[in-house]
Amino acid sequence: MPSSKPSDLDAGIARRLKRDAAGLVAAVVQQYDTGDVLMVGWMDDEALHRTLATGRATYWSRSRQEYWVKGDTSGNIQLVKSVALDCDGDALLVRVDQVGPACHTGNHSCFDAGTLPVMSQ
């Protein structure tokens, strides 16, 4: 579970968030100038606060149970250009300038594994 400590996230923003049972909101990450969808991460109030305050994308790792700043170990940083909340408050669109590959596999995007077949109508 993410930190249960109070976050410094603006109260008005916090009120708009609809978190899952673990206190998280999905963050869809997009390259700001090309529109490429790079990855999906997870944020709680504190990760969102850190992202907005520093301009570096910060996420909650569900597997490691800790915060991580994209690129701190790999060098493949995400410089945040904008963050938008969807109409339901349960997802964020984080537009970034990605330096290096976004995916931990070394691919440009986590969605570079190929498309699935769709039956035409």
Each residue of 5-61: pLDDT tens digit?
778 999 999 999 999 999 999 999 999 999 999 999 999 999 999 999 999 999 999
Give the model confidence (pLDDT) of 48-102 as tens digits.
999 999 999 999 999 999 999 999 999 999 999 999 999 999 999 999 999 999 9
DSSP assignment, residue 116? P
Burial code of 76-109, b = ≥16 C-beta within 10 A, e = fewer?
A: bbbebeebebeeeeebbebbbebeebbeeeeeeb
Q: Is the pLDDT score of 3 beyond 90? A: no
pLDDT score recorded for residue 70: 96
User: How would you classify the pairing of strands 66-69 and 58-61?
Assistant: antiparallel
pLDDT score recorded for residue 114: 86
Map out the domains of the chain with their CATH numbers. Answer: 11-98 (3.10.20.810)
**Rounded Cα–Cα distance for residues 88 and 120 (Å):** 30
Q: Is residue 67 within 8 Å of residue 54, measured between CB atoms? A: no
**Rounded Cα–Cα distance for residues 83 and 101 (Å):** 20
pLDDT score recorded for residue 4: 60
